[in-house]
Structure 1
Amino acid sequence: MSDASDSSLGPEVEEFLQATKLEPGTVINRTYMIRQLIGAGSFGSVYEVYDLRLKRIVALKTVLTRFDSIQAQRLKREIELIRQIEHTNVVRLYDFGEDPSGILYMVMEFIEGKELGEVMREEGPFDLQRTLAISTQILDALVQAQKVGVVHRDLKPQNIILTREGMRSDVVKLVDFGIAKTYSDASVGPFGQMSSTMGFGTPLYMAPEQIQGTRVGPYTDVYTVGLIMLEMLTGAPPFHGETAIQILSEKTSWTPEIPRNIVPPPLAVVLEKAVQMDPKDRYQSARTMFLDLHGTGLLGPLSGVFEVPKDADPDFHRSGTAATVDIGDASTHPRIQAPEVRKTMQMGREEL
């Protein structure tokens, strides 16, 4: 596979990545043998590796070691939380550590599939049922993350992989929880620091509070899910600035309009609430947004283990009882084509 390094990275990051690049055959901590580079970004590189002990293929992400000791400790605490997320729609984190040369790494489930962004570019707007099937899986995964106190903070189509499991297609796998942050300590640096690297988010999908450097929480991920749903339905992001700065300015100036000629009225109500500029006006959790989606009556037959939350949003009148969309029902949404290339944890890709 060719080197998938992000060409938009700055020279300093490119130089660091090149200096720390691991060649095929390199063994990390006597356990993980490098097979090939999968991708690289401002937070590190991702490799396909072979676990010599458990005899399986996994993904290994190296993390840039320019963190100070406080940042490194924070990262380790976050990783411990992320390991608690066990959900079919979240890529599993198996191990993390530091090799003798000082390289921090995380070892994860290796998955094959295509990025949601890539599928949208190839296939154009999705129909309603496909959009809902994908979105409810994303929300279900976020519910589990929020149960252990984790906010993703960098949701975007590039971090949502569509895979196949048996006869089921469009099975969602969320990646890049490696830069997620516990919302007990959830804030980002001032705009001046963030704007140079966009380290905790990508302009098109960042929430206004991330841009402004104020507190983030589950409502931050809800905002991004709303934006991604609009993009799936319309074929284009709801913000159209030509530069990152223009997009960030738009996001702190107005709430995107819902195209009601495309979006059914019940769903428009849900999306309008999800993408409000002020966090206080949004759903406060993925659970309440999911329940309101179910309350629209658009999801069809439901099955699964999604628990009805006690904190259901009282502002929306629901007729259903909630569960997880059965993504195995091939009649509800089109199948995606078999993956042409392998995709896995590609952290820190700074795309508009």
Structure 2
Amino acid sequence: MIAAGQTIGNYRILAKIGTGGMGAVYLAEHPQIGKRIALKVIHRELAGNKDVVQRFFQEARAVNKIGNEHIVEIHDFGVTPEGDHYYIMEYLDGKTLAHVMTHERALDVMRALHIGAQIASALAAAHASGVIHRDLKPDNIMLMNRLGDQDFVKVLDFGLAKMFAASGASAVQTAVGVLLGTPQYMSPEACESKRDIDHRTDIYALGVLLFQMMTGVLPFDGETMGEVLVKQVTVLPPVPRALNPAIPPSVEQILLRCLAKPVDARFATMLALRDALLDPESYLRGSPPIAPARSVAPGEAVVDGRQMLAAADARTRMMQQGGLPLQPPGASPGDAPYGSPGTSKQIPVPGLAMPTEPKMNTMRISTPIGYSSRPPRRVWPIVLVVGLLLGLGGGAFTVAWCGRPPGSATPSTAGASSAAGVVAVVDAPAPAVAVDAGIVVVPIALAKLTLDSKPSGATVYDPNGIALGKTPLKLEWPTGTAPVTFTLKLRGYRDRAHEMTVTSNTMTQIQLDKIPRAPGPVRGSGSPDRGAGDTELERPD
């Protein structure tokens, strides 16, 4: 067991600074030159697992292959005489993104974009080297003070990284049906354990991170892992601006495109996502495809429609008065606006490792040209309403004049006007939420299903063949008009496919048919009695 004072390689162990499922991390120091490093060691009980050891050293090879300033550096690796597998990496004096969000919940939009652009830069370099991270989450993002940047990013833990050889095959194969990663940050294709997972799974995970940083909540969460996995595959993300009205429409579209369920609907490359994060308004002016979102459930939204419109109006007024006086990350409110003529000194943004150096416009997010949070005033709706009222009044006068009994009137309500370029569809039970430009809100509601079988204990599979649990089973499922087929399997009984349309809370009991026994040998008297060697035919699950 490794302890303080022990020497590994040229470094003396000072203290344990972290531990995880695969190993522990120690702070160590070179006794002659005083250089401090972090030493990661595999747990001894896992040292005999060849797959764990292979993934451990694969992480060192993957990081060394990439060589990006936003990825932790690994200097050496080896095995101690006692059999401890280790590698030596740079010591990072900072805080994880998980620690920061625990204390601050939701980050400022500009700060989140600054952090996200650095993560995208690191992963773009990884993808260019044929490496997919596959375990992006707040615990694996370190924020530190470097080069004058209080939020300089280092991406950690490539232990689940997928590396591709020249032939395109993965260096370490993952068995079908094995889930790798954290469910809340896994892409739909990773939740389904598909073989053809590519770099766009990291784009989805970064979208979850950006959503969480800006809203303070996860787009998909639940009480059980199964519930989270089902939501990742079947449920659209909520509207980000319903949770934080300070998010500009351009940034909202970037988040939703990252979280698109179809792989081809996301950003094609991490480099394209990084460029969008650096200049969101330019991205929106390029007329990107509109990404869908679901309407928020009652009580889910942190703000209401009036707050969202008020925030948009305030942003528009500030733009009309000469722009938004935004400060760079870490600047105090009393500092001069970032990039203003009165600024005597600007701290340059660290260079990026990709081929070109894009212009950094993250700190200058404005409302797109031609966009207004207030719909344009038109005269024809007023004329139409006045004409409708006159028509109704004339009809009532005619009925009264002719002495006919008045018919039942069907009340009509005028729909609330939405912002320019917006299509908003909201569930009937939910309060109407006004949404800003560039969003298509698709109604999605969850119904509570109770599936039981007779006899109980059958395994329930969803339409994709994923096991959801055993009957009696309670779960939530998106409502809709399309039929959904659940398959029930129980040893000794025939598989039963049950098709249903989920429109509301439903309780269903499904009768299973027992597989008949094989006929026994016929005895002299024609007795149906079975012999001692007779067996029951059963289908495997």
Q: Does 1:212 pair with 2:195? A: no
Alpha-carbon offset, residue 22 of structure 1: 1.1
| Contact 1:33/1:51 (<8 A) preserved | yes
Going from structure 1 to structure 2, the CA distance change for 1:164 and 1:325 (only over 3 Å counts) comes to farther
Compute the RMSD of aligned alpha carbons: 2.9
The one-letter amino acid of 2:27's match is E
Alpha-carbon offset, residue 78 of structure 1: 4.6
Alpha-carbon offset, residue 59 of structure 1: 0.3
Going from structure 1 to structure 2, the CA distance change for 1:187 and 1:325 (only over 3 Å counts) comes to farther
Post-superposition Cα deviations, 1:128-178, rounded to whole Å, max 9, x if no partner, equal 111111110111111111121111111101111111125321111111123
Q: Which residue of structure 1 lines up, in the alignment, with residue 81 of structure 2?
A: 100
- 1:1-352 equivalences under 5 Å are 21-29=1-9, 31-52=10-31, 55-64=34-43, 65-66=46-47, 68-69=49-50, 72-73=53-54, 75-165=56-146, 167-183=148-164, 184=168, 185=170, 188-191=174-177, 193-194=178-179, 200-214=180-194, 215-261=196-242, 262=245, 263-297=247-281, 305-306=351-352, 322-323=358-359
- Rounded to whole Å, the distance in 2 between the matches of 1:304 and 1:39 is 29
Alpha-carbon offset, residue 99 of structure 1: 1.4
- Rounded to whole Å, the distance in 2 between the matches of 1:118 and 1:70 is 30
| Contact 1:134/1:170 (<8 A) preserved | yes
Q: TM-score, normalised by structure 2?
A: 0.49
| Contact 1:303/1:323 (<8 A) preserved | no
Post-superposition Cα deviations, 1:10-60, rounded to whole Å, max 9, x if no partner, equal xxxxxxxxxxx411111224x232111111111111111123476411001
Post-superposition Cα deviations, 1:39-94, rounded to whole Å, max 9, x if no partner, equal 11111111111234764110011124445446644543452232133222211111
Q: TM-score, normalised by structure 1?
A: 0.74
Q: Any stretches of 5+ residues in structure 2 without a counterpart?
A: 284-325, 327-338, 340-347, 366-541
- Rounded to whole Å, the distance in 2 between the matches of 1:94 and 1:257 is 43
Going from structure 1 to structure 2, the CA distance change for 1:241 and 1:167 (only over 3 Å counts) comes to same
| Contact 2:278/2:361 (<8 A) preserved | no
Richer in helix (by share): 1
- Rounded to whole Å, the distance in 1 between the matches of 2:6 and 2:121 is 37
| Contact 1:258/1:271 (<8 A) preserved | no
Q: Any stretches of 5+ residues in structure 1 without a counterpart?
A: 1-20, 195-199, 311-320, 333-352
- Rounded to whole Å, the distance in 2 between the matches of 1:74 and 1:324 is 36
Q: Which residue of structure 2 lines up, in the alignment, with residue 347 of structure 1?
A: none
Which has the higher Rg, Structure 1 or Structure 2?
2
| Contact 1:89/1:174 (<8 A) preserved | yes
| Contact 1:48/1:110 (<8 A) preserved | yes
- Rounded to whole Å, the distance in 1 between the matches of 2:131 and 2:18 is 25
Alpha-carbon offset, residue 304 of structure 1: 5.5
- Rounded to whole Å, the distance in 2 between the matches of 1:259 and 1:292 is 17
Alpha-carbon offset, residue 180 of structure 1: 1.6
| Contact 2:258/2:266 (<8 A) preserved | yes
| Contact 2:96/2:140 (<8 A) preserved | yes
Identity %: 30
- Rounded to whole Å, the distance in 2 between the matches of 1:77 and 1:127 is 36
- Rounded to whole Å, the distance in 2 between the matches of 1:323 and 1:63 is 42
